[in-house]
Structure 1
Amino acid sequence: MQLQTDEQKQEAVTSHLVLFPHNQQARPDASLLIDLSGAIHASQRIEIDYRSLHNEVTHRKVEPYGITGWKGHWYLGGYCCLRQDYRSFRLDRIQQVQILSETFEKAENFDFEAYVKEQYNAGSIHMEVEFQAEMSTVQQKIPTLYGTLTETPTGVLLQEQYDDVESMARYLMSLNLPFVIHHPPELREALLRLGERMVQLATAQ
């Protein structure tokens, strides 16, 4: 087997990551991340010992498709041969991994990024925020993966799903762009609370 260079390993890692905003991701095990990314890049099946939320350990054969940072954790997404369906696996619950020599063909009709976004958006809140800026300016600040950007007569409308209005309020403030919150009202309230805390800090003696 031909050994990968450091540059090839780095490319394998970065080309199969899907990251979501506003989350403090736990740092994954570097060696595990490199091994999984290499298997994804080469379309190699893997075997894992996986510990569930209820501390049950199962042995799985998985066809890995990608890795994502999501809600404070890192996940491997792919086809689980045991469950015969697509699944996501938290990296910190993978107790052992073995890269197999057998390869697989990725399903053309499976969109890993769309699958992750669907999982990520489950049970979340629909948000609409309009930025009073040019589309090019907003795109420099907000990657399209974060949500849908649509031009309006007065700016750019961002529509996305998220489950934490407090962190969304902090994120909006960090963009340094003028904006109007259309929905939900809870986001406006969170922004007001954030503003009040900032004023208190600024005026504290």
Structure 2
Amino acid sequence: MFNEEEGFAISIALTAARQLKLLDVAPSIESAQSKLQRILPDQLRQRLRAADTAIELNLQPATMPADKEVLAKISHAVAHKQSINLQYRSVSDMVSERKLDAYGLAFHATHWYVVGFCHLRQDIRSFRLDRVMRAELLSQQFTSPPDFSVISYLRSAVASIPRAYSVELLLKTDMQYARRYLSDAIAVLEQTTGGVLLYNQSEDLSWFARQLAALPFDFEVRKPAQLQDELRKVAERLLKNCS
């Protein structure tokens, strides 16, 4: 029998799964919630019903692979450290065959990703599952790098995607304080003498300047010069609002 904390945790997890639409298993989620309600004591059941009604999660539905077997096969490949062959369609609609040593699966920014060593590129790559057309398990085994974090890789990869502007700043603070205000999805941070180097790829320098204006520590813009112009505009607008 579940205690109150365990029952509440399961109920919230099922609610999140339903809103995210992580899998096309809505009937299964409803069935699980019904079973959970039946086995709990009356008082706890009433509390969980009230919580399910009251709690609203601000979650974006997931983009799922067209073939449910894709997720199942890749999950098997990750769990058993078994290489897998993917037929993959890129964002430009180019189809390629990729042999992958899949290190892990992650749900990030409304998409499922698999991250691993791509034998074609001879490097670690990420692949969106909704672009995987076919997955075939192979007989070869592999060894994952120790302490590899799929989420950390994805965040860093997103921040490093080439865009219109390459940004480099020197933050006048330490790494721990910088990470409190700058997520991996926004910037790649590197400890250096005199502070923390920030690297970013941006399409909108005006937006990025507004984010920098909110930082509680000083920084030095190394590039591009256009970012300095955008920061001046932000400062002028703030000063105007103070008059």
Partner of residue 149, structure 1: 191
Which has the larger strand fraction? 1
Partner of residue 180, structure 2: 140
Partner of residue 163, structure 1: 202
Which has the larger helix fraction? 2
Judge conservation of contact 2:170–2:196 (CA < 8 Å) in 1: yes
Residue-by-residue CA offset, 1:87-111 (whole Å, 9 max, x unaligned) = 543433223445x374522376xx8
Show the 5 A alignment for 1:13-32. Answer: 27-29=62-64
Judge conservation of contact 2:161–2:201 (CA < 8 Å) in 1: yes
Judge conservation of contact 2:169–2:222 (CA < 8 Å) in 1: yes
Judge conservation of contact 2:114–2:129 (CA < 8 Å) in 1: yes
Letter in 1 for 2:189: G
Letter in 1 for 2:122: D
Letter in 2 for 1:106: T
Superposition RMSD in Å: 4.9
Partner of residue 82, structure 2: 44
Partner of residue 179, structure 1: 218
Change (3 A) 1:96 1:135: closer
Change (3 A) 1:160 1:55: closer
Rounded to whole Å, the distance in 1 between the matches of 2:76 and 2:206 is 37
Partner of residue 43, structure 2: none
Structure 2: unaligned runs, 5 residues or longer: 1-9, 14-59
Q: CA deviation at 1:79?
A: 3.5
Q: CA deviation at 1:127?
A: 0.5
Q: CA deviation at 1:56?
A: 4.1
Partner of residue 38, structure 2: none
SS of residue in 1 equivalent to 2:93: coil
Q: CA deviation at 1:170?
A: 3.3
Partner of residue 168, structure 2: 127
Partner of residue 13, structure 1: none
SS of residue in 2 equivalent to 1:128: strand
Rounded to whole Å, the distance in 1 between the matches of 2:93 and 2:178 is 44
Q: Return the structure number with greater relative CO, CA threshold 8 A, min gap 6.
A: 1
Structure 1: unaligned runs, 5 residues or longer: 1-6, 11-24
TM-score when scaled to structure 1?
0.53
Rounded to whole Å, the distance in 1 between the matches of 2:110 and 2:238 is 25
Change (3 A) 1:85 1:55: same
Judge conservation of contact 2:88–2:95 (CA < 8 Å) in 1: yes
Change (3 A) 1:105 1:189: same
Larger radius of gyration: 2
Q: CA deviation at 1:73?
A: 7.1
Q: CA deviation at 1:136?
A: 4.2
Rounded to whole Å, the distance in 2 between the matches of 1:192 and 1:101 is 56
Are residues 1:89 and 2:127 paired? yes
SS of residue in 2 equivalent to 1:78: strand
